[in-house]
Structure 1
Amino acid sequence: MKRAPNLRQIEALKAVIECGTVSRAAEILHISQPAVSKLLAHLEEDTELALFDRVKGRLIPSEHGMRLYKEIDRVFAGIKQIERAVDLIRREELGQISVGVMPALSGPFISHTNKRFLARYGDAYISVVIRSSQFIVEWLLSKQVDIGLINRNTDNPYIECVPLRGGDLVCIAPAGHRFAAKQQVEPADIDGEPYIGFAADNRIRQKIESTLDGYGTRLNYIMDATLAPAVCEMVANGLGIAIVDPVFAYGQRDHLTIRPFRPNIASDLSLCWLRDTKNRHLVDAYVEATRATVQEMQLGMGVTSQATE
């Protein structure tokens, strides 16, 4: 090898392989296409390896090129791990907390909780990361977030996981619906009603259907949606009824009839954090703010629940 590759050459190789074209790599690197081609040519010259095959004007990574790329990718992954470690240390030193939130809770719920938390810790910094529950659990374990709000429990021994609220799902209908005259809604009441559900692979939908199986109730699905706030908004606009966790309905509460649903279908929403978290005082404070927000929302909607342990 004539001389060691420099960082810019390595970045060019990585960008071309990941982007597929020199033009796209140039955009990512904020340089011209000829500059990218020159970096690659110098890299091949310095390493004395044919890293690309030229096929009909395109660069196709050779076997040598792919082997080198895999090593480069491992190095960059290590650098990212160092960046995460630096970020973790900074959060602990400067009073920062990172919160992983499932998309359905990223609206009024998280903004109310953050406002309450900052009223107590005005100098703290909050980073909100919106991801699916599965990713939030993974990010907790890798210490990329301090606390997670998810739609399931987890049995991981390194994670403390408690119910976000101790109550059940509710039936929501448009304001002025006939359900407003009822103390609670039962399976016979919703039989044949236009029903707005979650997507077919959603755990809550499957849980609702499983509960209703023994009652002979026919859910008259007219549409479904991926996120609970969208379901609540469509109900508020008079399109049908739904069974949801009341926390999701808070933003539309003035446009909804909200009633307990029987038989009970327990909420799956959970609050979780690492058992050995180094950010304990802020995590405890955020958990307290979260529970206070739940209580505030439930009182605002006339919904009761068991106390959260």
Structure 2
Amino acid sequence: MDIIKCFRSYCAVVECGSFSIAADKLLITQPSVSTHIHELEKYYNTVLLDRGREKVLPTDTGKLLYSYAKEVLHRIKKIENAMNDARNLLSGNVEIGASTVPGTYILPEVLKRFKEQYPKINISLKIRDTSIIIKEVFEKKVDFGVVGERTRKQGLVFCRLTDDTVCLIAPGSERREKITIEELKKMPLIFRESSSGTRMTVAETLKKKGIRVKDLNIVMELGSTEAVKQGVIEGLGISFVSERTIRNEEKQGLLRRIDVERLNIKRNFWLVKRANGNLTRVAKTLLNFLKKECCIRDVHSGL
């Protein structure tokens, strides 16, 4: 039972003297109002309303409940107003940094929801490679960052934000659905630059399989995920990218995934902030909002 909805329906019926008029006032159906009243009478095990022919009137116990229900609803309204005022009064600037994938494919939607709740907080989002964002967090050039890899740099705290899968992509015309690691070594590969979090993840995973980056047939290095995808579409090679980045191209048949035997590349996206740096109130508000919206799992203070 939603006690608040029940109280609203009950008070409306008492004030209007009618189930139908109360329903119109609350913009809900009359059966919904009747259900709410029935739930209250069942819960309190008493008759609350005298359903006369001309007008619905509260019983003695109904009058008692009405006075308390009105007080509860009044306090709830005050709480809602106070919270809205607090959100609207909170203002200031936040500067954050993000690597390509979270900055392009995750944060915009989350930041839109944040701005709806905190319209007076201004956000500046820098999108750079992972290593650059980590450096800028350390040097206090941004309040905090969202990146695809952790580092062992002292003085930073990394919090796991959400996970990601990196997949191998080929042009939509590619017929093969699966290849071996040995076949992968011979195929023309397009890679991101060395400071890219995606590249770091791929290199680390391949290293565990005994494969070094220099063992691969890298034909081109490009500076953005969009450039990599376009290069693959044009047939310049295959590449590793976050699965989040290719949903539209897959639907359009421009790109397709290729499974690599015994190769499963998973990674996390991380919030990074200075260990001894005190965030402003608005920066803390945004950081906590991101944790909540992106399903934070655990926290690591250093490595």
Shift of residue 170, structure 1, vs aligned partner: 1.2
Match of 1:166 in 2: 163
Show structure 2 runs of 5+ residues with no match: 1-88, 299-303
Q: Does 1:285 align with 2:289?
A: yes
Distance 2:192 2:137 in 1: 26
Distance 1:144 1:132 in 2: 15
Q: Does 1:263 align with 2:263?
A: yes
Match of 1:273 in 2: 273
Which is strand-richer, 1 or 2? Answer: 2
Distance 2:111 2:290 in 1: 8
Match of 1:213 in 2: 210
Match of 2:192 in 1: 198
Distance 1:110 1:242 in 2: 24
Residue among 233, 237, 244 paired with 1:236? 233
Q: 1:108 to 1:268 in 2, by over 3 A?
A: closer
Contact 1:94–1:124 (CA<8 Å) still a contact in 2? yes
Determine helix, strand or coil for the equivalent of 1:267.
strand
| Superimposed CA distance per residue, residues 80-116 of structure 1 (whole angstroms, 9 cap, x where no aligned partner) | xxxxxxxxxxxx9624321112356543444333223
The 10-residue stretch of structure 1 (147-156 or 243-252) with the greater mean CA deviation from structure 2: 243-252
Shift of residue 148, structure 1, vs aligned partner: 0.4
Larger Rg over CA atoms: 2
Match of 1:225 in 2: 222
Show structure 1 runs of 5+ residues with no match: 1-91, 293-306
Contact 1:95–1:282 (CA<8 Å) still a contact in 2? no
Match of 2:48 in 1: none
Determine helix, strand or coil for the equivalent of 2:163.
coil
Shift of residue 186, structure 1, vs aligned partner: 4.1
Using structure 1 for the length normalisation, give the TM-score. Answer: 0.51
Q: 1:138 to 1:191 in 2, by over 3 A?
A: closer
Percent identity of paired positions between Structure 1 and Structure 2: 21
Contact 2:105–2:244 (CA<8 Å) still a contact in 1? no
Distance 2:102 2:150 in 1: 16
Q: 1:222 to 1:134 in 2, by over 3 A?
A: closer
Count of residues in correspondence between the two structures: 199
Contact 2:164–2:268 (CA<8 Å) still a contact in 1? no
Q: 1:157 to 1:198 in 2, by over 3 A?
A: closer
Shift of residue 166, structure 1, vs aligned partner: 3.0
Residue among 144, 148, 156 paired with 1:147? 144
Determine helix, strand or coil for the equivalent of 1:161.
strand
The aligned amino acid for 2:226 is P
Contact 2:100–2:128 (CA<8 Å) still a contact in 1? yes
Distance 2:234 2:228 in 1: 10
Contact 1:171–1:258 (CA<8 Å) still a contact in 2? yes
Aligned pairs for 1:24-39 (under 5 A) are none
Contact 1:192–1:220 (CA<8 Å) still a contact in 2? yes
Shift of residue 208, structure 1, vs aligned partner: 5.3
Distance 1:147 1:250 in 2: 28
